[in-house]
Structure 1
């Protein structure tokens, strides 16, 4: 069995290695490529807390010259994975919210922060944390530190395997990635291949632009463990 993994690096390789360790083949074709936009300084005067929504943000912050100062701030994280990444990086006080910025805003407000919240984030992001906090009397400084750009093209070997129907399934992790996969197929003259291709998406939302796939599946729970279990169920 051969799978196509489309998530950004470094997670793309991690997922592909998990599939390989299960005895199958996996090709890596990250459809989103990171472009770092870290500022020279975060201007930390008046900042009393840090809001972080992904492990990618943690990895970028760890390269910044002000990271030691950031480690001294209480950090509010979306999800256990992000929280664990913060602790490993050296942040001593970490609060964990649920899986979205609504839960994050609720958690921040519950702690009565005495100062501003620094929110380093992606250019394209879900939810308006700054707006949510402003409505509840908390000042949030949103700083864009990276962007995820569409890959210029699908790798040539991947195009050939898609054309020839070699993939058991294509793994799609977000609505944006799904849209880009469809666009890159069409750009390569392979748009017709989608109707014969099995696609496994992280969630129903992620599957939104791929309704024309030959077989479209998504797990009951939107996490990678459930997604891979679904992908490997028929192997």
Structure 2
């Protein structure tokens, strides 16, 4: 039995993340148009000895997926930036998980609350592109942090045909943006393709003000989530 959708939303997140969001949109009777602007690839042949760390920081679900491939240790304390990342960690078998339920600043605060800088090094799982200075902020508070790049996040070099088709056809009601990088990349690709005027019927929904600030297109509206999590972002679709 096919679903009858009442609205359509563009998802530009990496594929695994977009599929997770699609499942949520299906329940809201919103059709997802998936066109990732960032491609994730895991770095092979890395093995982490997690027993030597007091905790592990992860700021994305892709970080958790990469971590799962590098170690069988599931008892190390995981500190995640938000609920979606924490859920991925739980699904991957990690047993000791704390979520900051916010952004990088909230993650720093949670680390300070839960962990003593004198009790050992904390490992930070990263991709090839790192936003902000989480490590620097923690080092200022006396923590020893080791960053481990476990995956690559490469931007596409041209506008996906599916996006152009939906823009030209005025087929999109919403466009969801989860990171400043993706928002800026989308803006650049739309402008370079001469498609800017085709955004004026679309409502952009952004995870944070930093994401909203990275958009440079004439959307009909730009809405910003009250809290930097998926629950808050998806609530923007119901306004």
**Aligned-partner Cα distance in 1 for 2:138–2:236:** 38
**Other-structure match for 1:90:** 93
- Give the deviation of 1:195 after TM superposition: 4.2
- Give the deviation of 1:145 after TM superposition: 1.5
Q: What TM-score, normalized by structure 2, do the two folds share?
A: 0.81
- Give the deviation of 1:59 after TM superposition: 1.1
- Give the deviation of 1:172 after TM superposition: 2.0
**Aligned-partner Cα distance in 2 for 1:83–1:227:** 17
After the TM superposition, which residues 110-189 of structure 1 pair with which residues of structure 2 at under 5 Å, given as runs? Answer: 110=113, 111-112=115-116, 114-189=119-194
Taking only aligned residues, the RMSD between alpha carbons, in angstroms, comes to 2.7
- Preserved contact between residue 11 and residue 175 of structure 2 (Cα < 8 Å): yes
**Aligned-partner Cα distance in 1 for 2:110–2:197:** 47
**Aligned-partner Cα distance in 2 for 1:45–1:26:** 41
Q: How many residues align?
A: 230
Q: Report the 3-state secondary structure (helix = DSSP H, G, I; strand = E; otherwise coil) of the residue aligned with 2:143.
A: coil
Q: 1:87 to 1:153 in 2, by over 3 A?
A: same
Q: Report the 3-state secondary structure (helix = DSSP H, G, I; strand = E; otherwise coil) of the residue aligned with 2:129.
A: coil
Q: 1:135 to 1:223 in 2, by over 3 A?
A: closer
- Preserved contact between residue 194 and residue 212 of structure 1 (Cα < 8 Å): yes
**Other-structure match for 2:48:** 42
**Aligned-partner Cα distance in 1 for 2:15–2:236:** 22
After the TM superposition, which residues 1-235 of structure 1 pair with which residues of structure 2 at under 5 Å, given as runs? Answer: 1-37=7-43, 40-42=46-48, 46-64=52-70, 67-69=71-73, 71-110=74-113, 111-112=115-116, 114-218=119-223, 219-233=225-239
**Aligned-partner Cα distance in 1 for 2:233–2:19:** 16
**Structure 2 residue ranges without an equivalent (≥5):** 1-6
- Preserved contact between residue 197 and residue 214 of structure 1 (Cα < 8 Å): yes
Q: Which has more radius of gyration?
A: 1
